[in-house]
Chains A and B, each alone.
Chain A
Amino acid sequence: MTEAIGVTGLVKSFGRTQVLNGLDLHVEAGEVHGFLGPNGAGKSTTIRILLGLMRRSGGDVRLLGGDPWSDATALHRRLAYVPGDVTLWPTLTGGEVIDLLGQLRGGLNRRRRDELLDRFDLDPRKKARTYSKGNRQKVALVAALASDAELLILDEPTSGLDPLMEEVFRQVVLEEHRRGGRTVLLSSHILTEVEALCHRLTIIREGRTVETGTLASLRHLTRTTIDAELVGAVNGLGTLPGVHDLRVDDHHVTFDVDTETLEPALRKLIDAGVRSLTSKPPTLEELFLRQYAR
């Protein structure tokens, strides 16, 4: 597979403050890639560099085989962007904005535009000034999704959408992806959305990539919570390297365990004789909370 986005060792400083410190981001063509990180981690800044709006201070950036700064206009024919903070021209109607952006990108699919307006339940005749935050967001989404761009760059695209509309967004992205094999870079704070849509994801913190891979491989990084009733006493559990927060209360033990240590830990339990056992699977939430806070 070819690479749609290849960012290696990206550095960006604003004056004296360095915001990106050697960030890596690799997105394969045809995948939906989640881009996560706490507030101020540098997601929007990275995206602006990918769009040639900002100049990198160092590192290597490739976008659809070109250089995002010097080949900006040519590359922009092949992508559509939904900014993190959607603002529209207050005196234009939603329909006018959608058609304007479509026209600038070299035309948009009218049938698809009308279908999307319908599904997102958006009235295109209203002046942008009078749209709510969610409706402004929908205008930008319809404009991007109705284009035939091969790459969609979406910066927190569902912020402000109600749960129903979030669901529509998910369906549309899945359909789009199934139909055309479009590449999507999706920056988001909504974990269920990332879980539902993304094949791979990259987590950044303070301008640095801290984790990248498929959802399954990231799950490996998480801990399982074990709660067991034992027949006898368990020995040596506390000394296993991947066991955390161990509590032993007579014959009752609870602990968290890293995925690699799961097997040896279970052996110890079996040695002591198991009366009952519950295990809670790792949640992405926990993974993120740990990655964000580390």
Chain B
Amino acid sequence: MTGTGTLIRLILRRDRVLLPLWAILVALIPAGYASSFKGLFPTAADLAGYARVSMSSPGFIALYGPLRGDSLGEIVAWRAGFFPVIIGLISLLTVIRHTRTEEEAGRTELIGSGIVGRHAAFAAALITTVGANLVLFAIISVTMIGQGQPVGGSVLLGLSFALSGCVFAALGAVTAQLSGSARTARSIAIVVLGVAFVLRLAGDVDTGVSWLSWVSPIGWVQHVFAYGENDVLPLLLALLLVAGLVVLGSVLVSRRDVGEGLIAARPGPATGTISGPIGLAWRLHRGVLTGWILGFAALGLVFGGVASSIADLAADNSDLAAILRRLGGNSFLVGMIAVLGLIAAAYGVQAALRLRDEEATGHTEAILATPVGRLRWLASHVVFSLLGPAAALLVGGLLCGLTAGGHQLATVLGAAAAQLPAVWVLTALTVLLFGAFPRQASAAWGAVAACFLILMMGAVLGLDQWVLDLSPFTHVGHGLSATPFVTLTAIAAVLATAGTLAFRHRDIPSA
């Protein structure tokens, strides 16, 4: 553990903008919800009406979890029900970034040869991430109390969100030990997060299997019911899980060598059959593509299954507020497809950022020193970042439509197809950033986050229409319609072309 302090300072120095930014930004939103709900529903009767509608809306329950009371605090806590997923995701990414990514880049070896204990990197990454979650906890509690909410509920709300961050930070610390590659470590952790979310969703929506939400750490966090039942037991479960994962992770750290994972690499073929840049791109993308398609298939099955177990969707939602309509109209399924669209955009951006990865690691230089031209190399990766999300959406939509019942298939597939051009706009934006501002290419994640915030929170926070309009997903119709499809596709084409032109004229590797 010696040297942990030094490493913590190093992490704080490297993440001095990112870490406070997400912790503070995310932490301020519940109070923002509280103040805008006060405006939207000034009387207790208004609140009760909204709560009654929300409690019986499967779309809402799927995304945010169950709602049991109608006080302002309870409604805010419930409406922020997707936060554990976001906080968990950021936390696990942060931990893996400061453990396995560093190790893969060989920097851990450099540090490990100094006077730094073998658990130092593991401890430093965890301590900083837990610290960020404590900041988040403090801000949520204080700002909610500032909104006039009860102290007990505010503390528990902050605590439950912070603990969800800690659970997934610890999970990231464990998966970082399993594999030699940060990419694999991230994938495993994100899959676990996704499974936890889907279990919670299925358990909450389908009362026949409500025990499922108790298998998921995200479910625990929501069963605190802050401002209502204020149940502490689920938090104790989460705390135990954190402790267990930390112990497991630190045992794994002492069991393995620097640079290695527990999953050993096997020998492969002595000769290769990869032909051309597109063959190489296929090799590099196929694992991720398969993972996303399986993920979308699973989500499609769950969403479709949930939908079919709900008797009459349309009737239930007929009097829902405008907020639900923003989420993609008045049907549970179309709302879920909107969520799938955003997830597909995350995949598109991830696949397009492979371009930057390849350049930064020097692989692009090796390829472009052969007769392969820049355009051909760029296209080989862009193809996957455009068609990959399309394939994933198609599979997700197809399975969702089929399990929901045959008559839904056309609607659901249409809604999925309508998402595609918006996904492409974000992919193309990534290509533009890569071509013109390669060092800032990962800012594309900021764009995904912004679209996400606008979709999930724009209406509640009462953002101006022009802000909402910034997200391509705002312009997606509820079904397939020509104008947004063509316009968004054209915008994507322009962005991608600009990125390509910039790329053809710049130095490789760029400074």
- Does B482 touch A at the CB level, under 8 Å? no
B237 to chain A, nearest CB (A): 38
Per a CB cutoff under 8 Å, which of A14, A86, A87, A106 touches B371? A106
Q: Report how far A63 CA is from B73 CA in the complex, Å.
A: 72
Contact B271 A99 (CB under 8 A): yes
For B373, list chain A residues within 8 Å (CB): 72-73
- Interface residue tally for chain B (C-beta within 8 Å): 37
Interface residues of A in 51-83 (CB under 8 A from B): 51-55, 72-74, 76-77, 79, 81, 83
Assuming the contacts A55-B505, A125-B267, A129-B265, asked whether A99 and B274 have C-beta atoms less than 8 A apart, the reply is: yes
Per a CB cutoff under 8 Å, which of B266, B272, B505 touches A97? B272
- Does A1 touch B at the CB level, under 8 Å? no
Contact B507 A92 (CB under 8 A): no
- Does B280 touch A at the CB level, under 8 Å? yes
Quick one: CB contact mask for B265-278 with A, threshold 8 Å, 1 for yes?
Answer: 11111111111110
Assuming the contacts A92-B272, A124-B270, asked whether A87 and B361 have C-beta atoms less than 8 A apart, the reply is: yes
Contact B270 A91 (CB under 8 A): no
Assuming the contacts A54-B507, A83-B365, A104-B367, asked whether A127 and B267 have C-beta atoms less than 8 A apart, the reply is: yes
Assuming the contacts A93-B267, A96-B269, asked whether A129 and B370 have C-beta atoms less than 8 A apart, the reply is: no
Of A74, A85, A125, A140, most B-chain CB atoms within 10 Å: A125
For B511, list chain A residues within 8 Å (CB): 14-15
Per a CB cutoff under 8 Å, which of B283, B362, B367 touches A91? B283
Contact A127 B265 (CB under 8 A): yes
Quick one: CB contact mask for B483-511 with A, threshold 8 Å, 1 for yes?
Answer: 00000000000000000000001111101
- Does B366 touch A at the CB level, under 8 Å? yes
Quick one: CB contact mask for A83-114 with B, threshold 8 Å, 1 for yes?
Answer: 10111111111011111110111100000000
- Does A126 touch B at the CB level, under 8 Å? yes
For B267, list chain A residues within 8 Å (CB): 93, 123, 125-127
- Does A130 touch B at the CB level, under 8 Å? yes
B404 to chain A, nearest CB (A): 38
B321 to chain A, nearest CB (A): 49
- CB closest residue in chain A, given B104: A90
- CB closest residue in chain A, given B362: A87
For A153, list chain B residues within 8 Å (CB): 369
For A92, list chain B residues within 8 Å (CB): 268, 272, 274, 283
Of A55, A89, A95, most B-chain CB atoms within 10 Å: A89
Q: Report how far A125 CA is from B266 CA in the complex, Å.
A: 9
Q: Report how far A123 CA is from B268 CA in the complex, Å.
A: 11
For A103, list chain B residues within 8 Å (CB): 272, 274-276
Assuming the contacts A93-B268, A127-B265, asked whether A74 and B371 have C-beta atoms less than 8 A apart, the reply is: yes
- CB closest residue in chain B, given A79: B369
Contact B371 A73 (CB under 8 A): yes
Q: Report how far A76 CA is from B377 CA in the complex, Å.
A: 14
- CB closest residue in chain A, given B284: A89
- CB closest residue in chain B, given A84: B362
Q: Report how far A77 CA is from B373 CA in the complex, Å.
A: 11
Q: Report how far A51 CA is from B365 CA in the complex, Å.
A: 9
Per a CB cutoff under 8 Å, which of A73, A81, A90, A96 touches B272? A96
Q: Report how far A124 CA is from B363 CA in the complex, Å.
A: 19
For A74, list chain B residues within 8 Å (CB): 371
Contact B271 A51 (CB under 8 A): no
Q: Report how far A101 CA is from B274 CA in the complex, Å.
A: 9
- Does B368 touch A at the CB level, under 8 Å? yes
- CB closest residue in chain A, given B508: A53
B248 to chain A, nearest CB (A): 24
Q: Report how far A83 CA is from B361 CA in the complex, Å.
A: 12
Q: Report how far A122 CA is from B269 CA in the complex, Å.
A: 14
Q: Report how far A135 CA is from B42 CA in the complex, Å.
A: 71
For A97, list chain B residues within 8 Å (CB): 272
Contact A101 B265 (CB under 8 A): no
Per a CB cutoff under 8 Å, which of A54, A83, A90, A99 touches B366? A83
Chain A contact residues, CB within 8 Å of chain B: 14-15, 48, 51-55, 72-74, 76-77, 79, 81, 83, 85-93, 95-101, 103-106, 123-127, 129-130, 140, 153
Further 11 A-B residue pairs, CB within 8 A, beyond A104-B370, A104-B372 = A53-B369, A53-B509, A54-B507, A89-B284, A92-B272, A93-B267, A93-B268, A93-B270, A95-B270, A96-B268, A105-B370
Task: Give 12 pairs: A residue, B residue, CB < 8 Å, sorted on A.
Answer: A48-B365, A54-B508, A74-B371, A87-B361, A87-B366, A88-B363, A90-B181, A92-B272, A93-B270, A105-B371, A125-B270, A153-B369
Chain B contact residues, CB within 8 Å of chain A: 180-181, 265-277, 279-280, 283-284, 361-363, 365-373, 505-509, 511
Pairs of residues from A and B, 9 with the lowest C-beta to C-beta distance, nearest first: A96-B272, A99-B272, A104-B370, A93-B268, A81-B369, A95-B270, A54-B507, A125-B267, A87-B362
